[in-house]
Amino acid sequence: MSAKPSVASELDFIQESEPKLTIDDLCFATSNYLESSQVESIRRAYHFAEQSHEGQTRRSGERYITHPLAVAHVLAMMHMDYECIMAGLLHDVIEDTTYTKDDLIREFGEQVAELVEGLTKLAKATFENREHAQAENLRKMLLAMSKDIRVIIVKLADRLHNMRTLGHLRPEKRRRIAYETLDIYAPIAQRLGMNLMRCELEDLGFHVLYPIRYRVLADAVRKARGNRKEIVSQITSSILNRMEQEGLSADIQGREKNLYSLYKKMVSKQLSFSEVMDVYAFRIIVDDPDACYRMLGVVHNLYKPVQGKFKDYIAIPKANGYQSLHTVLFGPFGVPIEVQIRSSDMEHMAEAGVAAHWLYKTGESVGNTLAHRKARQWLQGILEMQKGSGDSTEFLENLRIDLFPDEIYVSTPKGEILTLPRGATAVDFAYAVHSDVGNSCVAARVGRHLVPLSTLLETGESVEIITAPGAHPNPAWLNFVVTPKARTNIRHYLKHLQSEEATQLGQRLLSKHLTAFSTSFDKIPQKRIKALVKEFELYHFDELLRDIGLGNYSALLVAQKLVQETATERDTQPLMIAGTEGMVVSFARCCHPIPGDPIHGYVSAGRGIIIHQRSCKNTTHLRVQNEKWLDVAWAQDIQREFPVDLMVHVKNQRGVLATIAGTVSEADSNIDNVIVDERDGGYSDLRLTIEVQDRQHLARLIRRLRRLDMVERISRIIT
């Protein structure tokens, strides 16, 4: 990879004429900054890789070694350390040859072997489909990256060379790799502050997925660049003259977005090309942070700043460690000017991110730069995310959310500034402070005002979280939280809660069947229980109870095995449903059963028991599965409300909806949802979802509604 990004219009996604590198080229490139013994180690790794891949070729027909050599050269251009470059040369050895990690440890040491092992894909035979394989391999790589950030740097170099040489693959495979690059790898590069890498990956992916749009946009940019020269020159001269008056020196560059960024801006904001190119962008590079603020004063004195468009990323860096001052000005002829002001160190960090300053000085790794600290914070979040994710696809979904942050900055009451994605709520903030704070939060105070936990936060706000000892996460929070940490912690709690509820329900179901066999838990020998647990290949009896509650095993079958009976089920008492069983007992949305309705329970694997009305038409095709049905009945004194759908045929007149809502309220009920379907002839159908306690409560409500003059008829909806 070159020291400067390729001009977008000059990128050629099928680079048939890519220069043929040799090991001598690589050694020459690394000899400028590495010791001679380290360069020799790189040469030794090359010969080992060349021998390992002997006889293997790429789709282009070239020897396979040309790929790892090119990857190592990309890493050398980034001035990575010698172990990282050796890993680049060896990155496919474990995956594609007979050599193992132990072989690499013997030859090149633990560090290099760990890097290569972290880049090695898992065996494909273990996965159901390509998406699952991609998710699990990415999960493995990111966990390896949490131990050593160089794993992802080598992977990005590998992906960059693959993108440069996609031309020999089938079109559908090219598109799949390009989509994956734009979806995962370019955002990871951005998250790590590696702007040069991100820009080239994005433009190569853009060219593959949308070749015509790419060419049209590249041509338009080339033409516009020529037409803008006069204004750019005038603005540059004005800034230089004012700088000289103030005794400042700086390097002023015209800044141009890469093609994919231009395309995304046009699509997301529905702008034409001329509207996007109306903005003139400049980057001013000065000596140190103090000069950044002095230069800001210069440009603000020269051109009037646009209110609300100034951002100080030096005082509050971005999540990837990026630092700069951003401002927008009213330029000559009213043209908007975007200006970025940063020091030369900030410029280097903005381009290379965590790959910047990687060299070893005085025997110690310079790994304490802002980008490295931010990267470590992100990786810690990745580890927390993976602990709470149920499977690799859920992990990948959370990662995608995390990779596209449009950030806001909010503070704690003590003044600590936290970075959150735009759209974050008070619950997201609570989990960002600490998982325990999020799990026990009950309210929030923004400024001095109490606000709901679903309140969206804005930059600059001070947020205080109010907690309570007995509080716990609410499933409804999943509807509005946006951070992976919050989502993962809530789901983890709910899974644990569901497990507890399923265990309790399983115990009730099994007790009911044991009673039918004239026995109970206390009378079953512990030896028999342990033997049954072993037979089901479980570790604890609670696991078996949980699986019964979730519907994975039949309570009757388990009861028969415990009492060693093979007879058919004897007469049993129905399972009493109180409506407080939690997530493992749910009520069907098709028929909305309420206390007083004749009901039966369907045992659904993984979901527990679903309660239906006996008259529900949707259960007709399921009734042949006798073992799936459970005899249930309503418990006494149920203290909760249940939703019911009513169809109310009414005359169209002023205030009809308000009158009906008032009547429902007078009947101690509440309307959850209303759907209005206007009919011809001055009538409408109102579909109401209301909350009632039981059939008697519903009957009282219907009688009240029927007394209204505008109501023609009412019926309960059971689909």
Cβ–Cβ contacts within 10 Å for residue 299, how many?
Answer: 22
Average pLDDT, the chain: 81
Q: What is the pLDDT of residue 123?
A: 45
| Confidence label for 640 from pLDDT (cuts 50, 70 and 90) | confident
- Read off the pLDDT of residues 667-690 as tens digits, 9 standing for 90 and up: 888 888 888 877 667 888 888 999
User: How many whole angstroms separate alpha carbon 672 and alpha carbon 657?
Assistant: 14
Q: In the CATH hierarchy, which top-level class contains the domain 642-716? A: alpha beta
Q: What is the pLDDT of residue 139?
A: 67
User: By C-alpha distance, which of 178, 127, 138, 678 is closest to 385?
Assistant: 138
Q: In the CATH hierarchy, which top-level class contains the domain 372-481? A: alpha beta
Q: What is the pLDDT of residue 627?
A: 60
Q: Fold for domain 8-218?
A: Hypothetical protein af1432 (1.10.3210)
In this model, does residue 17 exceed pLDDT 60? no
Q: Mean pLDDT lowest for which of 128-137, 248-257, 503-512, 525-534?
A: 128-137
| Confidence label for 133 from pLDDT (cuts 50, 70 and 90) | low
Say which residue the tokens 């909010």 belong to.
410
Q: Mean pLDDT lowest for which of 13-22, 74-83, 169-178?
A: 13-22
Q: What is the pLDDT of residue 515?
A: 81
| Confidence label for 606 from pLDDT (cuts 50, 70 and 90) | low
Tokens describing residue 270? 């529905």
User: What is the 8-class DSSP label of residue 287?
Assistant: S
In this model, does residue 5 exceed pLDDT 50? no
3-state secondary structure of 1: coil
In this model, does residue 23 exceed pLDDT 70? yes
Q: What is the pLDDT of residue 142?
A: 66
| Confidence label for 397 from pLDDT (cuts 50, 70 and 90) | low
Q: What is the pLDDT of residue 438?
A: 92
| Residues whose CB is less than 8 angstroms from the CB of residue 422 and which lie 6 or more positions away in sequence, other chains included | 405, 406, 407, 408
User: How many whole angstroms separate alpha carbon 140 and alpha carbon 122?
Assistant: 8
In this model, does residue 594 exceed pLDDT 60? yes
Tokens describing residue 567? 């007879």
Q: What is the pLDDT of residue 125?
A: 39
Q: What is the pLDDT of residue 201?
A: 94
Q: What is the pLDDT of residue 38?
A: 94
- Read off the pLDDT of residues 141-199 as tens digits, 9 standing for 90 and up: 666 666 777 888 899 999 999 999 988 888 888 998 998 898 888 888 887 778 889 99
- Read off the pLDDT of residues 209-218 as tens digits, 9 standing for 90 and up: 999 999 998 8
Tokens describing residue 529? 């229980």
Q: What is the pLDDT of residue 410?
A: 86
User: How many whole angstroms separate alpha carbon 187 and alpha carbon 4?
Assistant: 19
In this model, does residue 373 exceed pLDDT 80? no
Q: In this structure, what are the phi and psi dihedrals at residue 42, rounded to the nearest 5 degrees? A: -65, -45
| Confidence label for 10 from pLDDT (cuts 50, 70 and 90) | very low
CB 718 within 8 A of CB 616: yes
- Read off the pLDDT of residues 91-122 as tens digits, 9 standing for 90 and up: 999 988 889 999 999 999 999 998 898 887 64
User: Of the ranges 152-166, 327-341, 359-373, 616-630, which is most confident?
Assistant: 152-166
| Residues whose CB is less than 8 angstroms from the CB of residue 570 and which lie 6 or more positions away in sequence, other chains included | 516, 517
Query: 336-343 and 711-716 as β-strands: parallel, antiparallel, unpaired?
Result: unpaired
> Crossing angle of helices 150-164/82-90, nearest 10°?
50
Q: What is the pLDDT of residue 195?
A: 84
User: How many whole angstroms separate alpha carbon 340 and alpha carbon 325?
Assistant: 6
User: How many whole angstroms separate alpha carbon 625 and alpha carbon 75?
Assistant: 62
DSSP letter string over 179-217?
A: HHIIIIIHHHHHHTT-HHHHHHHHHHHHHHH-HHHHHHH
In this model, does residue 2 exceed pLDDT 70? no
| Residues whose CB is less than 8 angstroms from the CB of residue 54 and which lie 6 or more positions away in sequence, other chains included | none
**Percent with pLDDT over 90 in the chain:** 24
Tokens describing residue 167? 């031309």
Q: What is the pLDDT of residue 574?
A: 78
In this model, does residue 390 exceed pLDDT 70? no
Q: What is the pLDDT of residue 384?
A: 62
User: How many whole angstroms separate alpha carbon 549 and alpha carbon 351?
Assistant: 55
- Identical fold for domains 222-355 and 372-481, yes or no, is no
Say which residue the tokens 């394989």 belong to.
133
3-state secondary structure of 321: coil
Q: In this structure, what are the phi and psi dihedrals at residue 587, rounded to the nearest 5 degrees? A: -110, 130
Q: Fold for domain 222-355?
A: Beta Polymerase; domain 2 (3.30.460)
User: Of the ranges 38-52, 341-355, 515-529, which is most confident?
Assistant: 38-52
| Confidence label for 14 from pLDDT (cuts 50, 70 and 90) | very low
User: How many whole angstroms separate alpha carbon 94 and alpha carbon 121?
Assistant: 9
**Cα–Cα distances in Å, from 556 out to 572, 610, 623?**
11, 18, 18
Q: Write down the domain spans for the chain.
A: 8-218, 222-355, 372-481, 492-634, 642-716
Residues annotated as catalytic (active site), given as ranges: 95-96
| Confidence label for 203 from pLDDT (cuts 50, 70 and 90) | very high
Q: What is the pLDDT of residue 568?
A: 46
CB 468 within 8 A of CB 438: no
